[in-house]
Amino acid sequence: MLILIINAGSSSIKYQLLNMNSNALIAKGLIERIGIEGGKVIHKYYKNDNLEKVEINQNFLSHIEGMRVIVNLLTDSKIGVIKDVSEVDAIGHRVVQGESVSHPVLITKEIKEFIRKISPLAPLHNPANLLGIEVAEQLFKNVPQVAVFDTSFHQSMPAKAFRYAIPNEFYINHKIRVYGAHGTSHKYVREQAANYLKNKNVKTISLHLGNGASITAINQNGESIDTSMGFTPLNGLVMGTRSGDIDPSALFYMVRECGVNFEELDDLLNKKSGMLGMTGKSDARDVEQLSYEGDKNAVLCLDLYSYRVKKYIGAYMAALNGAEAIIFTAGIGENDCNLRYLICKDLDFLGIKLDKEKNEKFNSPDRVVEIQSEDSKIKILIIPTNEELAIAQETLKIIAKH
């Protein structure tokens, strides 16, 4: 049973081809910086039990171009791992916004229309997710496809966490509430933490820090009780192109006094703010480089970014009445030792103490690692996320039913 997983982000596509008879990885890759200069493909595949690597520097104007490259790599006459796309038994897709859907579903015309209809709730991701589905349908004809929704994990949040203090009619009639995102990743790394610490009841604060970023409080039952993203993925932390938290009155002011059209606000806050708005760069690696070169805007951006994360850690320590572990995951969380340092700095009162040497030594790990100091009361873990494996497992369950 070969399952291909497509995880289309706002500026990237991650993919994995897995043999679900053994959960064995056959090939995986990352296409990054879609729509940004400096695009790259990192493709890895097994050959004679050795993991080989191919890197291609290529700009991608769209996700369609990226999907075609994936198919070409998988079926290439020299490095391909399958001869034809018909060898793939099913395709699983990560879809960010599923509204109140609490389980994966087989993709049909109706499901595609549902994903399209609720795209305004995740304007950077759902259109990319849907595009991935539609391109996959063209390239993998007659292969069943499954959607696994990021919002599902957060359906366990209590009303006090997911409701907004606005007139009830907007919740009842228009379903305006907190949905969250990155649920597949938060759920996966929490399970990995519980296994690693041999404590199924571990309370954790999970930091999924990538171009999109969110933080989630997870209780002793492994349930999300609060998360930083809200009605859409715009809320919460500073991100690559998203503003994160902002006083709504500032938006009214921008319309009245700054000449911003109301229709422009969505694009401004989702695609032109965050790191990009502050520094001109949306990729944290580029912002880091500017910071090292002394760019004041970049220095401030990193300070603001880490400060926002600190505030949420404090809030979620209160919401959980204490936690046993902090988890760093995703592109920045796993690979940026400087931002991990800035985030954990001066959190001693909460029992969070980072070991600087471990933090640098264990950067970009391929397994769970601990980076807290010996006298830290809280475990600080870096856990490589594997949303693709989690999605594959859910996809297999759905396919088995049909």
Give the number of residues written for the chain.
402
Q: What is the pLDDT of residue 7?
A: 85
Amino acid occupying residue 335: N
Give the residue from 325, 362, 365 showing the smallest Cα distance to 344.
325
What share of the chain has pLDDT > 70, as a percent?
100
pLDDT at 124 over 80: no
Which of 37-41, 102-106, 200-204, 230-234 tops mean pLDDT?
200-204
pLDDT at 309: 98
**Do the annotations mark residue 212 as ligand-binding?**
yes
Contact 203, 194 (CB under 8 A): no
Q: How many whole angstroms separate alpha carbon 228 and alpha carbon 206?
A: 11
Average of pLDDT values for 385-397?
90
Catalytic machinery residues: 150
Measured torsion, CA atoms of residues 365, 4, 151, 311, in degrees rounded to the nearest 10: 20
The confidence score (pLDDT) of residue 386 equals 87
The pLDDT-based confidence of 272 (bands split at 50, 70, 90) is: very high
Residue 400 has a pLDDT of 84
- What is the pLDDT at residue 101? 76
In Å, how far from its chain's centre is CA 272? Answer: 19
Per residue in 42-61, pLDDT tens?
999 998 888 899 999 999 88
259 has binding-site annotation: no
Higher-confidence residue of 278 and 266: namely 278
Lowest mean pLDDT among 74-88, 195-209, 335-349: 74-88
Task: Out of 109-118, 127-136, 322-331, pick the least confident.
Answer: 127-136
Annotated ligand binding at 98? The verdict is no
- Residue 330: phi and psi, rounded to 5, are 75, 180
Taking only the tens place, the pLDDT of each residue in 300-316 is: 999 999 999 999 999 99
Residue carrying the six token digits 């379903």: 175
Q: Is the dihedral of CA 189, 150, 246, 272 positive or negative?
A: positive
State yes or no: 394 annotated in a binding site.
no
Tens of pLDDT, residues 186-208 = 999 999 999 999 999 999 999 99
Q: For residue 98, name the pLDDT band (cuts at 50, 70, 90).
A: confident
Task: Return the pLDDT at 146.
Answer: 96
Whole-number mean pLDDT of the chain?
93
Q: Distance between CA atoms of 287 and 278, rounded to whole angstroms? A: 10
Q: Which domains does the chain have, with CATH numbers?
A: 2-154 (3.30.420.40), 197-382 (3.30.420.40)
331 is in an annotated binding site: yes
Identify residue 125 by its one-letter amino acid code: H
pLDDT in the model for residue 118: 86
Q: Is 332 annotated as a binding residue?
A: yes
* Angle (nearest 5°) at CA 224 between 222 and 226: 145
pLDDT in the model for residue 16: 95
pLDDT of residue 34: 87
Residue 265 has pLDDT above 80, yes or no: yes
> Among 168-172, 189-193, 278-282, 388-392, where is mean pLDDT lowest?
388-392
Query: Does the annotation place 222 within a ligand binding site?
Result: no
- pLDDT tens digits for range 61-71: 888 888 889 99
Give pLDDT, residue 49: 84
Query: If pLDDT is split at 50, 70 and 90, which confidence band does 178 have?
Result: very high
Q: Which of 171-185, 235-249, 252-266 has the highest mean pLDDT?
A: 235-249
CB atoms within 10 A of CB 309: 25
**CA angle 251–256–258, rounded 5-degree value:** 80
pLDDT, average across residues 31-40 = 88
Q: What is the pLDDT of residues 362-381, one digit of tens each?
A: 999 999 999 999 999 999 99
Quick one: pLDDT at residue 310? 98
Residue 285, annotated ligand binder?
Answer: yes
